[in-house]
Amino acid sequence: MSKYRDVFLEEATEHLAEMSRALLELEKDAARAESIDLLFRMAHSIKGMAASLEYDAITQVAHRLEDHMQEVRSAGVAVDVAGMALLFRGLEMLESMVASVRETGEAPAHALQLNPAAAALVDPPDGEGAEKKA
């Protein structure tokens, strides 16, 4: 299991760095399709890797970010201020959860235990539920 955890940590770290760069680009141009697509792909990749290792908290947050980016892609609109804030909070949460895996070697705590202010990422207001599977 530690072999797979090491691969997860390496790849997740790379994906998070790419997400950070894409968010900075998106902050400059909120309609930048390349950044929106990259954020979607990186969240999707992290979600899949985390799910395979049963890192449910990471899977849940990555899935919500992926859903949010899909909504933006489908609508063909720019990311608004609230959407940017959500994306930055999600990135911060993923970074702290991946760091937790790195430090402890264990699955991270539930996302709300790490950051109660991030309820929109794990309990969306539309009632859709973050447990929805892709």
What value does the mean pLDDT of the chain take?
A: 85
Cβ of 68: how many Cβ atoms within 10 Å?
21
Nearest to 8 by CA among 106, 131, 118, 85: 106
Domain 2-122: assigned CATH number? 1.20.120.160
* Predicted model pTM: 0.82
Distances 86 to 33, 65, 83, 105, 119 between C-alpha atoms, Å = 18, 8, 5, 27, 10
Where do the structural domains in the chain lie, given as residue ranges?
A: 2-122
pLDDT band with cut points at 50, 70 and 90 for residue 122 = low
